[in-house]
Structure 1
């Protein structure tokens, strides 16, 4: 049975393996996605921040260290939620154990809403975008990252073991549900083209200010071979937009 939304992170064996991979040396999350994400959000001093799919809230702790006024994380996995609570102890941050669709999204409350690699698990993304627009203050910013559509279009490349040397792009314009084999489990994700993300944001009322494909930067790689490998195909897509 394939897992939906954050449910896979409640599988203990999967969770332990995921956490090892997430923070391993040359993790693409750390060496590619994270630097570009921080570049997009810029200075956070004094801002009230909402983070959708906050995971272990290590990102939230970093935002608080950088001077944000408050941090609120939303997390649907109980195992991640427990880690996030510990991460935010004695800090001006909180985490709610909820799926993104169940959060109340208080009106005109946050200066910045973020989401890192969570929204490709969501089926009805239009509703989430509308809720984010509502919860932002006027001129507030929404910045998020997802797996790049050339990755989510087809997971056939994952059928081979070891490091991938070829990535298959197929059914690119066929939107919707995909099942990804990942860390000995099957996970449901939702494929959208870059155009579809752009359209959904516009329909929610946002003005898109930046789009990034997270070009690898050698500064963040200790292994030159890994850096060259990561130049072959985009892994991440990031948007920044304003209300």
Structure 2
């Protein structure tokens, strides 16, 4: 059946393995997705930010250090929330233990909504996009990243052992539930085409300002073989939208 939403992060073994993997130097999140995400975010000085699926809130710590007025993290894993509270203990940020779907989005309360690599866990993304639109002030920004549709449509070709070398895209136009074997656990994610994301955002009232497919930069990689491997296929996509 697979773990739904953020439940997999409450598995002790998975959590420890994930934290080591997430913060390694050549993590794709760190050396590919994050630089592009920060570029699209722009100047956050004085901004009120909510972070959906905030994980350990290390990004929230960075946002507060960079000058945002307030930071609210939303996270469904109690183990992640415990870690996030420790990370933010010396900062004026807060974290709510809640799934993204169940969070009570206050009306016109935030200048920026961010979400990094979390929304592909959501089945009813339309409802979440509508709530995000509701919680932003007029002119507010919504910046988010998700697994690239090429990745979410190639789980069948995954092999558990060794570095993945081939991505066979299949059932691309069948949107919906997919199960990925990730660090020896079955995890439920939701595949959508690029057109699905575009259409849904527009139908929920957003203007899409930029779309980026983070490309690896050679200077971030000590292992040239890993750099060459990452050049073969896009791993994630980042959207910048405005209300």
Q: TM-score normalised to the size of structure 1?
A: 0.98
Where do 1:18-37 residues align within 5 Å?
18-37=18-37
User: The residue matched to 1:159 in structure 2 has which SS?
Assistant: coil
Structure 1 equivalent of residue 123 of structure 2: 123
Q: Does 1:62 find its partner at 2:85? A: no
Paired residues of 2:180 and 2:187 also in contact (CA < 8 A): yes
Post-superposition, which runs of at least 4 consecutive aligned residues in structure 1 deviate over 3 A? none
C-alpha distance in 2 between matches for 1:19 and 1:128: 27
C-alpha distance in 2 between matches for 1:226 and 1:46: 38
C-alpha distance in 2 between matches for 1:68 and 1:200: 28
- Structure 2 gaps of 5+ residues are none
User: The residue matched to 2:226 in structure 1 has which SS?
Assistant: helix
C-alpha distance in 2 between matches for 1:17 and 1:175: 29
C-alpha distance in 2 between matches for 1:75 and 1:16: 17
Where do 1:1-243 residues align within 5 Å?
1-243=1-243
Paired residues of 1:154 and 1:178 also in contact (CA < 8 A): no
C-alpha distance in 1 between matches for 2:236 and 2:203: 22
User: The residue matched to 2:138 in structure 1 has which SS?
Assistant: strand
Task: Using the TM superposition, give the Cα deviation of residue 25 of structure 1 relative to its aligned residue in structure 2, in angstroms.
Answer: 2.5
Task: Using the TM superposition, give the Cα deviation of residue 222 of structure 1 relative to its aligned residue in structure 2, in angstroms.
Answer: 2.2
Q: Deviations over 1:133-154 (max 9, x none)?
A: 0000110000000000000013
Aligned CA distance change for structure 1 residues 81 and 160 (closer, same or farther; 3 Å): closer
Task: Using the TM superposition, give the Cα deviation of residue 219 of structure 1 relative to its aligned residue in structure 2, in angstroms.
Answer: 2.7
Aligned CA distance change for structure 1 residues 160 and 2 (closer, same or farther; 3 Å): closer
C-alpha distance in 2 between matches for 1:162 and 1:105: 42
Q: Deviations over 1:204-226 (max 9, x none)?
A: 10000000011112232222221
Task: Using the TM superposition, give the Cα deviation of residue 165 of structure 1 relative to its aligned residue in structure 2, in angstroms.
Answer: 1.4
C-alpha distance in 1 between matches for 2:53 and 2:139: 23
User: The residue matched to 1:100 in structure 2 has which SS?
Assistant: coil
- Structure 1 gaps of 5+ residues are none
User: The residue matched to 2:208 in structure 1 has which SS?
Assistant: strand
Task: Using the TM superposition, give the Cα deviation of residue 54 of structure 1 relative to its aligned residue in structure 2, in angstroms.
Answer: 0.1
C-alpha distance in 1 between matches for 2:217 and 2:150: 20
How many residues of Structure 1 are paired with residues of Structure 2 in the alignment? 243
Q: Deviations over 1:35-90 (max 9, x none)?
A: 11001101111100000000000000000010110100000000000001111112
